Structure 1
Amino acid sequence: MPIPIIDIFAGPGGLGEGFSAFINEENERAFKIALSIEKDTLAHQTLRLRSFFRQFAPDEIPEDYYSFTRGEITINELYNRWPEQATHARQEAWCGTLGDPDERDLNAVSDDEVDQRIREVLNGETNWLLIGGPPCQAYSIVGRSRRQEKILNEQTDKRVGLYKQYLRILSVHSPAIFVMENVKGILSAETSENQVFSKILNDLSDPASSYLSDNDAACADIQYPSYRIYSLVNTPDQIDIYGNPEYQHKKFVIKAEEHGVPQTRHRVILLGVRSDIDVIPGIIPRHAEVPVSDVIGGLPALRSALSKSDNTFENWRRLISGILGEAVMDGADDAVKDAIRNRAENMEEPPFGTGADFLPVLDAGTDYLPEWYLDPRIGGVLNHASRAHMDSDLHRYLFVSSFGQVRGISPKLSDFPERLLPAHGNVRQGIEEKKFADRFRVQLAGRASKTITSHISKDGHYYIHPDPAQCRSLTVREAARLQTFPDNYFFCGPRTSQFHQVGNAVPPYLAFQIASVVNQVFEQAFANLADDLRP
């Protein structure tokens, strides 16, 4: 039987996808999502759709699913044609806001409701897995910098304490193992009372002590577990979280580019094992850095769309060519100028123009993990349409991508020709003080990409495609590939939400590797239990 998973703060399901994809030595799925909870309505739609997809064996996915992804039928038609699987998906994926939500939140759910649903889906099973990543905006270094906030306030920002929902479920339901993910910024976050990460580690190690302090009357009769907390990239002999008062916090950081994810995403991921399980987990394997071109290079070339002009190729080419006049490039490196001139004089219309939600492409392959990414039954590529950019940004994108191609680095504002500098009030500060000096950033073809975050939903300046001929930011599908989502993973909602979902997710291939470690712990624990029961 697959090990049940409760996934809270699930987003579009990246963490759950990795665990669900893991196949054990018996060639069976080792894990099954029993319940996933997400508050965002559109992310929940994606979560539910993927749950529907997983109701079928991999070789039995109905053609109707692919018809939906190609826009040939609606999602309601899909669910109506497969009512049993759609019902399971609706029961598994729950749209609910945990914690202490605003009273106007229509998706708010009480702790009692959550507890009841968990008990129902587990049906008495005690060896199960809790996964999830409490919202991280409160801890993000960039977010704290923008808010000019050095000390976090749990009273004014409820996100600071949302990990307590995780803590509460640990206390009340006692999973055998948990996996909790958050941003690296949590390591330096502080409240007026404590260093946040130190408190989280202490609380997760002994959830009852912390949770009971505020809930004595409600929980006095419940038996509470304690947990040993492990790093997934450093063995216990390399880290001593109990003997060292500083906890060696950085050893809990996973650098995704070192583990087969084509992205420099650094996240804190904790593995907790219930104290009655006498198994020491392993760690995930190291992998050579995977460059951007290996993952997105096979996707169809596109040009950017235009936001202020008629979106024709002739208009696009005319606007691009404008970089050659009026001394726009004065001050640029000569080699970069030559590259820009060569590109601007030889722009061609890509076969698929600016792309679409579905492109009927015969070959959009990848040399890296084709068995993970590709699904020939799609019949093309999903979610691959370029965004519209302002006329002035087209020149900046061409400059930045050409600079990256020639110099092998992304330029800072100080590298820009004067006439290409954006008309922002703090540009001089960016040049002189180096503050947000890389606000236009190309993803280099020969390196892993920078972190794909939810900010990609706002603009594409940090996510410029490495090919100057395309002169655009990344598409949803390109961002999804860099996040290691399989190509048949469909993101619901408008494009802004799709970007947001992709940026907020845990890379599924990283989760897949974590699943291997967790599965080993379960298998060893069950083997030990069997040995103990032998006469």
Structure 2
Amino acid sequence: MNIIDLFSGCGGLTEGFRTKEFNMICHIEMDEDACNSLRTREVFQYMKEKNDLSLYNSYLLGNIKRDELYQTMPENLMDKVINCEISHETIDCLITQIMNLSNGKIIDGIIGGPPCQAYSTIGRARNEKIKGDDKRIYLYKYYSKFLKKFNPKFFIFENVKGLLSYKDEHNEKLLPKIINEFESTGYNISCKVINSIEYGVPQKRERLFIFGIRKDIEISPSDFFQEMEKERTSGINIRDLFADLPKMRHGEEKNYYVESNQISQFIIENLKSNDTPLTYNVSRFCNEKDREIYKLVVLAKKKGKNLKYNELPTHLKSHKNETNFLDRFKCLSNDEVAHTLVAHISKDGHHYIHPDISQNRSITVREAARIQTFPDDFYFESSRTAAYKQIGNAVPVVLSKKIAKSICKIFN
């Protein structure tokens, strides 16, 4: 089935659809770094099919530049990634580009979801004042325009759980309006909140999924969620997730695996790569005060407690506000899955402190990527900060694989 990916990010949802059952026509994404990550991933997939990753590995090792790598690829491969904001001014041009890229092929599916910050419960009070001018709120209308134009058999729309309660500038719930919009374009709709932890992802992450089937197709959209129910499984804990990654201190980079007797089948099947060098296993530098806080937070976590900001010793406090945002520092637990990984990790790592007190640091980019179940051969462009942001915004890869698998099943 031929599909297009809207609001792609770096491609977490895309990864699940990289199977023989699907053909990705194009990705549309406004963030330049995320687009380069998509392009680099297209290069990887192309070279993997050719059974020759030598040039890709040379790039990961820093022996050639990105432009040199891209220049060796067929031109149409790079054209699949469209770096553009979806807006009133660009949508007609984007539709034309997709038609050219599809080369007459029927578009069978549309996947993706617009930026979620506008709907998130975090910062909702702050965003209340800009509702009338926040274009992100109504990006679903452009999604609808793509549905009208290409009339695919199905679509999958992903967003934050906060969309369930979000009210628009008229103080009316937005979700019923979105569903009505999609139904009016000719689709039967079903929606459900899915928690990634129930599908093998080592992370508690609740997201709303809207699934649509074209009304002339005799498949119920609820069939998709019934198939998803069959894919439920438990996730591994943080200790097992990081078992083959080296111990390190803050500010260090160690791009190699270590021998371990605890390597789970999950790591072998979904994450570890024997064909490419490990990348981005780099941790942030943090100052002495933060390291002291980290130790206290880890010790409290071992006792089953999340240490609040107002409980810190006076000499470690740098903010006068001791009533709001008290969970400024949060530690992962070795014996549990991670709490929700969000894009704020690109700002600092205080919410994702490594559970090993001897390492005394926040998690590396690669560890964050593993929490989101990106395979280790996935390379993020173009900096550590950009990588953290892309990872935090993504759909977990293992979940996206089960989404794609469930879609295949209902059509078969």
Q: TM-score, normalised by structure 1?
A: 0.72
| Equivalent residue number for residue 390 of structure 2 | 501
Alignment of 1:523-534 (within 5 A): 523=412
Contact 1:152-1:189 within 8 A present in 2 as well: no
| Percent of aligned pairs with the same amino acid | 35
Contact 2:113-2:158 within 8 A present in 1 as well: yes
Distance in 1 (CA, whole Å) between partners of 2:82 and 2:219 is 33
The answer as to 2:296 corresponding to 1:399 is yes
1:199 is paired with a residue whose SS is helix
Alignment of 1:49-448 (within 5 A): 49-58=40-49, 60-80=51-71, 82-84=72-74, 87-100=75-88, 110-126=90-106, 128-145=108-125, 147=126, 149=128, 153=131, 155-193=132-170, 194-207=172-185, 226-231=186-191, 252-280=192-220, 281=223, 282-284=226-228, 285-305=231-251, 354-355=252-253, 359-361=255-257, 363=259, 366-367=263-264, 368-379=266-277, 381-405=278-302, 407-420=303-316, 422-427=317-322, 429=323, 435-448=324-337
1:142 is paired with a residue whose SS is coil
Q: CA RMSD in A?
A: 1.9
Contact 1:9-1:37 within 8 A present in 2 as well: yes
1:181 is paired with a residue whose SS is strand
Contact 2:3-2:107 within 8 A present in 1 as well: no
**What amino acid sits opposite 2:108 in the alignment?**
W
1:94 is paired with a residue whose SS is strand
Alignment of 1:443-458 (within 5 A): 443-458=332-347
Distance in 2 (CA, whole Å) between partners of 1:156 and 1:506 is 27
Contact 2:6-2:112 within 8 A present in 1 as well: yes
Distance in 1 (CA, whole Å) between partners of 2:330 and 2:159 is 24
| Equivalent residue number for residue 359 of structure 2 | 470
Contact 1:152-1:191 within 8 A present in 2 as well: no
Deviations 1:421-459 (A, max 9, x none): x221212x1xxxxx3221100011111101111100001
Contact 1:408-1:444 within 8 A present in 2 as well: no
Distance in 1 (CA, whole Å) between partners of 2:394 and 2:163 is 17
Distance in 2 (CA, whole Å) between partners of 1:187 and 1:442 is 29
2:169 is paired with a residue whose SS is coil
Contact 1:36-1:92 within 8 A present in 2 as well: yes
Contact 2:244-2:257 within 8 A present in 1 as well: no
Contact 2:118-2:127 within 8 A present in 1 as well: no
List structure 1 runs of 4+ shifted beyond 6 angstroms: none
Q: TM-score, normalised by structure 2?
A: 0.93
Q: 1:127 deviation in Å?
A: 5.3
Distance in 1 (CA, whole Å) between partners of 2:141 and 2:52 is 38
- Give the stretch that moved more between structures: 64-73 or 7-16: 64-73
Deviations 1:252-308 (A, max 9, x none): 111111111111111101111111111232331221243112212321111013xxx
Distance in 1 (CA, whole Å) between partners of 2:195 and 2:174 is 21
1:355 is paired with a residue whose SS is coil
Indicate the structure whose relative CO is greater, using CA pairs within 8 Å and at least 6 residues apart.
Answer: 2
Contact 1:8-1:36 within 8 A present in 2 as well: yes
Distance in 2 (CA, whole Å) between partners of 1:83 and 1:110 is 27
**What amino acid sits opposite 1:16 in the alignment?**
T
Distance in 1 (CA, whole Å) between partners of 2:2 and 2:398 is 20
Specify every segment of 5 or more residues in structure 2 that has no aligned partner in the other structure, as ranges.
Answer: none
| Equivalent residue number for residue 32 of structure 2 | 41
1:272 is paired with a residue whose SS is strand
Deviations 1:498-524 (A, max 9, x none): 10011111111100000011112232x
Deviations 1:370-410 (A, max 9, x none): 1211111224x2101110112210100111112212x1342
2:208 is paired with a residue whose SS is strand
Note closer, same or farther for the CA distance 1:485–1:61 as it changes in structure 2 (3 Å cut): farther
Distance in 2 (CA, whole Å) between partners of 1:205 and 1:34 is 25
Q: 1:59 deviation in Å?
A: 7.0
Contact 1:182-1:267 within 8 A present in 2 as well: yes
Distance in 2 (CA, whole Å) between partners of 1:204 and 1:135 is 18
- The alignment covers a number of residue pairs equal to 403
Note closer, same or farther for the CA distance 1:274–1:366 as it changes in structure 2 (3 Å cut): farther
Note closer, same or farther for the CA distance 1:116–1:122 as it changes in structure 2 (3 Å cut): same
Distance in 1 (CA, whole Å) between partners of 2:51 and 2:76 is 16
Specify every segment of 5 or more residues in structure 1 that has no aligned partner in the other structure, as ranges.
Answer: 23-28, 101-108, 208-225, 232-251, 306-353, 430-434, 524-535
Distance in 2 (CA, whole Å) between partners of 1:383 and 1:291 is 21
2:118 is paired with a residue whose SS is coil
Distance in 2 (CA, whole Å) between partners of 1:520 and 1:152 is 43
Distance in 2 (CA, whole Å) between partners of 1:471 and 1:518 is 43
Distance in 2 (CA, whole Å) between partners of 1:192 and 1:11 is 27
Distance in 2 (CA, whole Å) between partners of 1:383 and 1:363 is 19
**What amino acid sits opposite 2:273 in the alignment?**
D
1:520 is paired with a residue whose SS is helix
Deviations 1:135-192 (A, max 9, x none): 11111111214x162x772x31111111111111111211110011001111111013
Deviations 1:212-231 (A, max 9, x none): xxxxxxxxxxxxxx111124
2:348 is paired with a residue whose SS is coil
Contact 2:43-2:56 within 8 A present in 1 as well: no
Contact 1:455-1:503 within 8 A present in 2 as well: yes
2:69 is paired with a residue whose SS is helix
1:500 is paired with a residue whose SS is helix
Distance in 2 (CA, whole Å) between partners of 1:507 and 1:115 is 28
Deviations 1:461-518 (A, max 9, x none): 1111111111111111000000000000000111111100111111111000000111
